[in-house]
Amino acid sequence: MSLDTMILKMGEGFGKTCAIFFLTLLFSLPLGMLVALLRMSKIRVVSWITRFVISVLRGTPLMLQLLAVTYGPFYLFGLRVARNKLVPVVIAFAINYAAYFAEIYRGGIESMPVGQYEAAEVLGYSKTQTFMRIILPQVVKRILPSITNEVVTLVKDTSMAFTVAYQEMFTIGKQIANSQSSFIPFLVAGAFYYVFNLAVDFVMGRAEKAMSYYK
C-alpha cells in the first residue's frame, strides 16, 4: 500500500477522531463546571459523593472506562452494544474529562480573592450575577493554561477509542499496520496528532492573548 493511500484511508478516520474530540469538549467543559460546583457544595454528603466519583474517574484507566461504558450495559443488563460506538465513546470521554476539568475549575474558583465576592455583594450583585460576571471570567483566564494541557492530552487520548474498535484514525492506522506489517501508519498517526496539537496550541495561545489585557 502506498503512503498516499495510507494517509487517505487514515484521513477518512480523522473525521471521527475530530468528532470524539469536539463532542467530548462540548459536553465535558460544562459538565465539569457542574461537577466542580457539586464538589464545592456546602452539603457535605453531596461534596463527599462527588469527591469519590472524581477519585474513581481519575484513579482508573480511561481505557477501562471506555470498555465499561461500551460493554457494561451488555454484561450487566443484557442490552445490545450500541451500533454507533461514537455514543459510548463520547460518553466515557466526556465523563472522564469532566472529572479533570472539575478539579481545574475548583482550583481556579478557590484561588479567587474573597474581596471580589465582597465588592460585588456590597454593590448588590446577586450570587448568580457575581459568579457569571465577576468570578467566572477571571477564573477562565487563570485556568486557561491548565485547560490547554488537558485539551492537548485529549487529542492524543482519542486514539484509545481503538479499544472498542471505533473506526477513528488510529484504529484504522493500527489495522493497516497489522495487515501490511508496516510501522509507517503509526508514524502517519503521530504526524496527524502532532499537527492537530499545533492547531490546538495556536488557538489556545490566541485565547490566552485575548485575555491578557488585564492582570
Partner 1 sequence: MENLLEIKHIRKSFGGLEVLTDLNLSVRKNQVLSIIGPSGSGKSTLLRCATLLEKMDGGDLVYNGLYAARDENGRSVYAPPKTIREVRNMFGLVFQNFNLFPHYSVLKNVMEAPMLVQKRDKDEVKKEALDLLEQMGLRDKADAYPCQLSGGQQQRVSIARALAMNPKILFFDEPTSALDPELTGEILKVIRGLAEKKMTMVIVTHEMAFARDVSDYVVFMDGGVIVEEGDPKDVIDHPTRERTIQFLRRMREQ
Return the C-alpha cell found at 169.
484514525
Which ranges in the chain belong to alpha helices (H)?
3-39, 44-59, 62-77, 86-110, 114-123, 127-129, 136-157, 169-180, 184-210
Residue 76 or 122 having the CB closest to partner 1:
122
Report the candidate in 6, 21, 8, 37 with the shortest Cα–Cα distance to residue 166: 21
Residues 6+ apart with CB under 8 A from 9: 172, 176
Q: Which stretch binds partner 1 (CB under 8 A): 51-59, 121-129, 155-163, 174-182?
A: 121-129
| Residue selected from 37, 49, 82, 134 as contacting partner 1 according to rule CB under 8 A | 134
Count of residues touching partner 1 (by CB under 8 A)? 20
Residue 123 lies near partner 1 (rule: CB under 8 A): yes
Residue 99 or 135 having the CB closest to partner 1:
135
Residue 78 or 113 having the CB closest to partner 1:
113
Least separation in angstroms between residue 211's CB and partner 1 is: 8
| Residue selected from 2, 4, 122, 128 as contacting partner 1 according to rule CB under 8 A | 122
Residue 141 lies near partner 1 (rule: CB under 8 A): yes
Q: How far apart are CA 90 and CA 192, in angstroms?
A: 20
CA distance readout (Å), 170 to 4, 78, 215: 16, 29, 41
The DSSP-derived string for 114-135 is: HHHHHHHHHHT--HHHIIIIII
Least separation in angstroms between residue 74's CB and partner 1 is: 49
Residue 138 lies near partner 1 (rule: CB under 8 A): yes
| Residue 174 exposure: Cα atoms within 13 Å on the Cβ side | 13
Q: Which amino acid is at 211?
A: M
Q: Which stretch binds partner 1 (CB under 8 A): 23-31, 122-130, 172-180, 187-195?
A: 122-130
Residues 6+ apart with CB under 8 A from 34: 98
Task: Lay out the site mask for partner 1 across 99-118 (x = CB under 8 A, - = otherwise).
Answer: --------------x-xx-x
Least separation in angstroms between residue 215's CB and partner 1 is: 4
Residue 110 or 118 having the CB closest to partner 1:
118
Q: Which stretch binds partner 1 (CB under 8 A): 1-9, 21-29, 127-135, 183-191?
A: 127-135
Under the rule (CB under 8 A), what is the footprint of partner 1?
113, 115-116, 118-125, 129, 133-134, 137-138, 141, 213-215
